Amino acid sequence: MTPEEIYAESFRIIEAEAGGHTFDATEWPVVRRMVHASGDLEILRSAAFTGGAAAAGVAAFRDGVAIVADVGMVAAGISKPHAAALSVAVRCFIDDPDVREQAAARGLTRSACAMAKAVAEVGDAVYVVGNAPTALLALCDAVREGVVRPRLVVAMPVGFVSVVESKERALSLSGTPVATVRGRKGGSAVAAAALNAMLRMATREPLP
């Protein structure tokens, strides 16, 4: 099979095995891409959207709103051609020297400090967390304090410590569109896949 045939067959299998679902026309391409990235149909049961999150992401990207990623792996997974076509900048502060210094001095995670710096420097943006729950918790605190109003939060950290709690806190944010995968699953590839689906829809590129 050619790469194109493999790609098309993958999505055909996902459609066939997914069967009926309750996702709307904008959410389903996002969920389908997350399933494709992870090979995990359980995402069909754990994916959740609040505040019209998928449509909010597409609208934000058509407005050229920047993306803030919690870690480099998430930033690296975002489609640069699609982001560039929409003049969407991709920012990540995890390796910033000031962040390293603050984290060491304050005894905090670099992810939390990087998120605080992003909120201060970028402001209202599309925020995507695919790795660190401490970054998501820091973002939630900033939203609750009225410091920032994200156009969208993609809340998909992965792991065992504070992961579930951070996602539920994000889902409880009033007036903030949130896309998440409930439970311990998530990760950089899944988070980037969700964003890439929205970027593709924003460019009006046909979806598989």
**pLDDT grade, residue 35 (50/70/90)?**
very high
Which of 32, 33, 36, 185 is an active site residue?
36
Kindly state whether residue 92 falls inside one of the protein's structural domains.
yes
Stretch (H or E) spanning 186? none
Q: What is the pLDDT of residues 164-189, one digit of tens each?
A: 999 999 999 999 999 999 999 999 99
**pLDDT grade, residue 206 (50/70/90)?**
confident
Is there a catalytic annotation at residue 21? no
- What's the CATH code of the domain at 79? 3.40.50.10230
Kindly state whether residue 208 falls inside one of the protein's structural domains.
no
Under a CB-based contact definition with an 8 Å cutoff, are residues 92 and 72 in contact?
A: yes
Asked if pLDDT for residue 1 goes beyond 90, the answer is no
Kindly state whether residue 207 falls inside one of the protein's structural domains.
no
Q: What is the pLDDT of residues 124-161, one digit of tens each?
A: 999 999 999 999 999 999 999 999 999 999 999 999 99
Instruction: Please give the Cα distance from 133 to 40 (Å, whole number).
Output: 21
The total of structural domains in the chain comes to: 1
Q: What are the backbone dihedrals phi and psi of residue 11, each rounded to the nearest 5 degrees, phi first?
A: -75, -30
- CA-based radius of gyration for the chain: 16
Closest-CA residue to 193 (of 60, 77, 96) = 77
Tell me the HSE value of 68 on the side-chain side, using a 13 A CA sphere: 28
Residue indicated by tokens 């309750």: 22
Residue 38 pLDDT: 94
Residue 166 pLDDT: 97
Tell me the HSE value of 37 on the side-chain side, using a 13 A CA sphere: 24
**pLDDT grade, residue 94 (50/70/90)?**
very high
Q: What is the mean pLDDT of residues 1-22?
A: 90
**Residues 6 or more apart in contact with residue 17 via CB below 8 angstroms:** 41
Kindly state whether residue 139 falls inside one of the protein's structural domains.
yes
Instruction: Please give the Cα distance from 151 to 31 (Å, whole number).
Output: 19
Percentage of residues in the chain with pLDDT exceeding 70? 100
Residue 7 pLDDT: 87
**pLDDT grade, residue 20 (50/70/90)?**
confident
DSSP state letter for 205: P
DSSP state letter for 192: H
Q: What is the pLDDT of residues 100-126, one digit of tens each?
A: 999 999 999 999 999 999 999 999 999
Residue 45 pLDDT: 93
Asked if pLDDT for residue 207 goes beyond 90, the answer is no
φ/ψ region of 186 (left if φ > 0, alpha if ψ in -120 to 50, else beta) reads left
- Domain ranges, residue 85: 3-202
Q: What are the backbone dihedrals phi and psi of residue 152, each rounded to the nearest 5 degrees, phi first?
A: -160, 145
Q: What stretches of 107-184 show up as alpha helix (H) in DSSP?
A: 110-121, 133-144, 163-171
**Mean pLDDT for the chain overall:** 95
